[in-house]
Amino acid sequence: MTETRKTWFHRLAWVALALTFVVVVLGAYVRLSDAGLGCPDWPGCYGQLDVPDEAQQIARANEAYPHRPVEPAKAWKEMVHRYFAGALGVLVLALAVLAWRSRSAVRQPLALPLFLVVLIVFQALLGMWTVTWQLKPVVVMAHLLGGLATLGLLAWLVLRQGGYGLEAVAADHGALCNYALLGLVLLVAQIALGGWTSANYAALACPDFPTCQSRWWPPTDFKEAFTLWRGLGVSYEGGVLANEARVTIHLMHRLGALAVFLYLGWLSWRLMAAGHSRALRFGGLVVAALLAGQLALGIANVLLRLPLPVAVAHNGGAALLLLALVALNHLVRPETAA
């Protein structure tokens, strides 16, 4: 019976991982299509569980929220994202229940599934605050990071329990462990910068490349650019920062991208030179390919003025690169309990 539960746990973890990736990409699509306030309340939409679509329902909703008239297309985007996120919450709770029931089994992780439940609850709170605090940038960025943390932790759970690739990497790779961990930390920092750029509507503050507003270093304002808390009662839709602050954020994101590109490029080269391990060579190739793709998408976002498909793909690429770095950290460390 315990072995059956373990099998179901592993399958369910895979499903949760795939669904988390969908939720992350959907969240990016909602944010980038300016639908983050498509529903001005939470968890419903204009006081109901779906989007008002009948004339009487729309009239009632517009009367209740005169500052936010119903826009069905935006509201449906927001609600579809919430439906998927809700389904993910149920899956993560099921994982925790299965883990608890099989806690005495060998190699059954418990702490991580229970932590994921806490993380999902916090993510739900961030989703609520994103709406009720009207797209406050620090909350929007934290919501993005929480989603990617969920993705990364589920990937780690799946990889460690399944032991994927470890049979091809027989020993601890010493320095590579530290290099891989540093790569993951740098990538997370860059993703946070990207989230801050998007949340402050600074993605097009520099409409040219590689210069910014035809200059290598235009006027900047670091204090305003990185003020995290500005109080409540302000709508951040469309952004509230002046040009110099937005330019500062954009420039920092570019510099961060350069640092990550150089470091992960070097790490990829080192991995592909690891002749004794086919798994590590393949990992290096995957990281290099995703890195090149991310660079191309980032430049395209600027030159093409942030087309929605390219911008969403850039977010999806960041999620895939995160998964690749999590997998790399899994490979270079000796097998332990999940």
Strand partners, 48: 45
Q: Region of 218 please: left (phi>0), alpha (psi -120 to 50) or beta.
A: beta
Query: Using omega within 30 degrees of 0 as the cis cutoff, is the peptide bond preceding 210 cis?
Result: yes
* Rounded Cα gap, residues 68 and 50, in angstroms: 16
SS3 of residue 231 by DSSP: coil
Q: Within 10 Å of residue 146's Cβ, how many Cβ atoms?
A: 18
Name the catalytic one among 63, 78, 167, 244. 78
237 a catalytic residue: no
Q: Tokens 């093409």, residue?
A: 304
User: Hey, what are 333's tokens?
Assistant: 């460390």
Query: Using omega within 30 degrees of 0 as the cis cutoff, is the peptide bond preceding 43 cis?
Result: yes
What string of DSSP letters covers 262-274? Answer: HHHHHHHHHHHT-
Catalytic residues: 78
